[in-house]
Amino acid sequence: MACFLDKGVVMMRSVLAAVAMLGIGALADQARAAPISLTISFSATNFSGLGLPPIDPFTGSFSITFDNSADIFDSTSGISGTIDAFPGLVLAFTYFAGPADQLIVGGAVGGADFAMLGDNDFSLVIDDVSTAPSSSNLVVTTAAGDFIASDQIVLTPIVSPVPEPGALLLLGAGLCGLAFVRRRSAG
């Protein structure tokens, strides 16, 4: 009887170890190739170029949800927000997947990655968006013909990754394993 219990314990440990290894692999890959949900507020100062900013600091905020496993070009789906200097501006975004992991947010007028001259528009570049969002550039254009840029941007990101089914499967397997061990020790 003791030999049977030892085999059962060994088998249970082997199963739990296999499930844990699969779960660790799924969790390690979660930062990449997973739906990303972000809410970002930004503020830019110290502009240079032709003209003056519509307001200084130039501020705004947006919420966005997208799948970071593939490139996305000039999409208005999954993004909403406000730009204080340009109320009512429709937002768009472009995302470059892979090592670039770069998000460009802007007005839908000229496309996210290009601020349209002669229109109230902007283009904000955010690097490492899936892991540690930081901004490298903001370009602003106005209907008056101003074209200005800032490299002094403060981002305030709130990252909320969407749970991956693999992580939920790992949680369920762990709970089942605990229930099995408890039931076995009670019997």
pLDDT tens for each residue of 107-128: 988 788 888 888 899 999 999 9
Q: Is the pLDDT of residue 76 over 90?
A: yes
Q: Is the pLDDT of residue 57 over 60?
A: yes
Pairing relationship of beta strands 35-45 and 58-67 according to DSSP bridges:
antiparallel
**Between residues 142 and 54, which one has the greater pLDDT?**
142
Helix axes 2-28, 165-186, angle to 10 degrees: 160
In this prediction, residue 42 carries a pLDDT of: 94
CA pair distance 43, 176, nearest whole angstrom: 48
In this prediction, residue 160 carries a pLDDT of: 57
Q: Is the pLDDT of residue 9 over 70?
A: no
CA pair distance 26, 45, nearest whole angstrom: 41
Query: What mean pLDDT, rounded, does the chain reach?
Result: 80
Tell me if 81 sits within 8 A of 60, measured CB to CB.
yes
Q: How confident is the model over 72-91, as a mean pLDDT? A: 94
β-bridge partners, 137: 125
Which residues, including other chains, have CB under 8 Å from residue 95's CB and lie 6 or more apart?
A: 66, 68, 71, 72, 102, 103, 104, 129
pTM of this structure: 0.68
